[in-house]
Amino acid sequence: MTNHYLEPRTELSTIQQQDVSKTKWYSNVLFKDFTSDQLDLISPYIVEKDFQPRELIMTDGDEGTFALMVDSGTVTIHKGELMLSERGEGDLVGMMALVDGGPRSATVAAGHKGCTGFIFSKEAFDKVMEHESDSVVSKMLMNYLKYQQSAIRQTNELGLQETRARLAESRKRVMSARFFVQMVLGLIVFVFLLGFLTKAAGEGESTYISFALLAIYGIWSFFYVRLSGLPMDSFGMTMDNFLPALKVTMKWTAGFVVVLFVAKWIMVTFFPNLFGTDIIQLYQSDGGIGATVLVIALYSIHAVIQEFIARGCIQGGLMQFVTGRRSAFTAILVATLMFSSFHLMIDMKFAVITVIPGLFWGYLFFKERNILALSISHIIIGVTSIFVLNIVG
């Protein structure tokens, strides 16, 4: 498979011998503890080379014709499309193929800013093995062995850390899935009870029954949030980001309220027989101003509980274990449709209308993760649309 992010390689045969100062390469781990005389013996075999950003240096499966000692910049090591690691100044890459004569086991490319390194060719390596003293050869091989041991330890530690991270992520997803199942079970019970009790209730009692059941469901949900073992901020229950989240949420809320007024103007202008002629139609309870205030207060509490359940618990739970490119959209859509279905027991038109602000708040929760800020937005938009503009009827 071709790596689209790698540039074509410059052939090694084009590398020209340069006046290489050994002060730039002698400190490499391969030549640790070499004497000055021994370094002088190695010096003719070292060639300096600059690589352009993303330039291909070594290719997986190719014959190992040289090793590279990185002097500046970085190189990336790949296996297919997967990047295994990044190496920098002082690191040694490609030496194994020189030692065992086997093919390259990975692809190496210059980093995004390019790199400079010192080439130690297979031909030079063979000459050192054949012509130089045993002390030079043994030191070089011993240094390489130590380097490989260190690299293996580092790889093992990185692998262990990655395994722990994956286990933690898997555990988190299992806990989130278990929590979501509990939320769905609670939702089913809530819908059944709501449908049964509202049909049995007298006129005007269904609203209070709905509020009481939602409050019970909210308490039940909070109980399972605490037992889930997941961090509270994953459900938007945090004050750490409240002020920044509120600032962003209020900007979007102001725009939504403007849209509501424009929508109501269109309704009364073009459909006066259906919606009347007044844009503002203030709600007034038959029980007077006190009853009106009570209804608005109960609605506000209702809005907070709704946001906690719909956005915090359902959407927040989904966002913990749903993966993929469209995971956020899926969580927003599912949470919105699930909670909008609550309103089917009250009114079909109302249930459909609630999808629009539900998607709006779902997006804001995805961006800000703060239930309190969203609850304030819900109260403002809800009071405006229901008690001021009477859009939902």
pLDDT of residue 248: 96
Domains in the chain: boundaries: 12-132, 170-388
Of 382, 269, 3, 117, the closest CA to residue 374 belongs to 382
Rounded Cα distance, 241 and 239, in Å: 6
Question: Which helix or strand (DSSP H or E) is residue 172 part of?
Answer: helix 134-200
Write the CB contacts of 164 (distance below 8 Å, at least 6 apart in sequence).
none
Q: Say how far apart CA 37 and CA 6 lie, in whole Å.
A: 39
Residues 103 and 87: their CA atoms lie apart, in Å, by 20
Note the maximum CA span of the chain: 106
How far is 357 from 363, CA to CA, in rounded Å? 10
CA–CA dist 231, 234 (Å, integer): 6
Per-10-residue mean pLDDT, the chain, length 393: 45 41 64 76 82 90 86 86 79 80 86 88 74 68 75 65 73 74 79 75 68 85 83 89 95 96 93 86 84 90 91 85 81 87 72 89 94 95 92 72
Give the C-alpha distances (Å, rounded to integers) separating 10 from 85, 89, 114, 259: 22, 21, 13, 60
Gyration radius (Cα) of the chain, Å: 34
pTM: 0.59
Q: What pLDDT was estimated at residue 131?
A: 63
What is the predicted pLDDT for the residue at 156?
Answer: 59
Count the helix, strand and coil residues of the chain and give each as a percent rounded to the nearest 5: 65, 15, 25
Per-residue confidence (pLDDT) for residue 135, from 0 to 100: 67
Enter the DSSP assignment of 383: I
**Looking at residue 368, what is its pLDDT?**
92
Average pLDDT, the chain: 80
d(CA 213, CA 302) in angstroms, rounded, equals 11
Give the amino acid at 360.
Answer: F
> Parallel, antiparallel, or unpaired for β 107-121 and 82-87?
unpaired
Q: Please state the φ and ψ torsions of residue 28, each to the nearest 5 degrees.
A: -60, 145
Q: What CATH number does the domain located at 12-132 have?
A: 2.60.120.10
Residue 246 confidence (pLDDT): 96
Angle made by CA atoms 57, 62, 66, in degrees to the nearest 5: 55
